[in-house]
Amino acid sequence: MESTRGGLSGKFTREGGKKEGSRRTKFDFPPVNVDRAYDCIDAMRKMAEAKGVSVAQIALAWLLHQKAVATVIIGAKRVEQLDDNIAATKVRLNEDELAALDEMSQLPAEYPSWMLTRQGGISA
């Protein structure tokens, strides 16, 4: 997901649009909700600034905090990126930070789940 990954490195921003020549300029696959992705990046940027780490470290730390994630595959091109990515193993996110990122990134409910919730107060 280049638009998100680039956002993690600061290469792409919400205001900057797509970089000419990037793979997402001509064929946006897989489809990404760009606004939700940038909302997540903006939240991670604030956390990163508060902790004195990179946005990429926050994103990787978030993944490492997920019970369902067994491993994280990184795509570093340079040694500096690799070092930065490995440093994410030392980043600790508190419950409030994890909850904020989980809520912000949550996918919208699909049918019939939203209908069950609406009609019967059933949690999907």
**How far apart, in whole angstroms, are the C-alpha atoms of residue 6 and residue 122?**
38
How many other β-carbons are positioned within 10 Å of the β-carbon of residue 111?
A: 7
pTM of the model as a whole: 0.74
How many other β-carbons are positioned within 10 Å of the β-carbon of residue 40?
A: 22
* Domains of the chain with bracketed CATH: 2-120 (3.20.20.100)
| Predicted confidence (pLDDT) per residue in 6-46, tens digit | 556 666 667 766 666 666 676 666 777 888 888 889 999 99
| Predicted confidence (pLDDT) per residue in 42-90, tens digit | 999 999 999 999 999 999 999 999 999 999 999 888 999 999 999 999 9
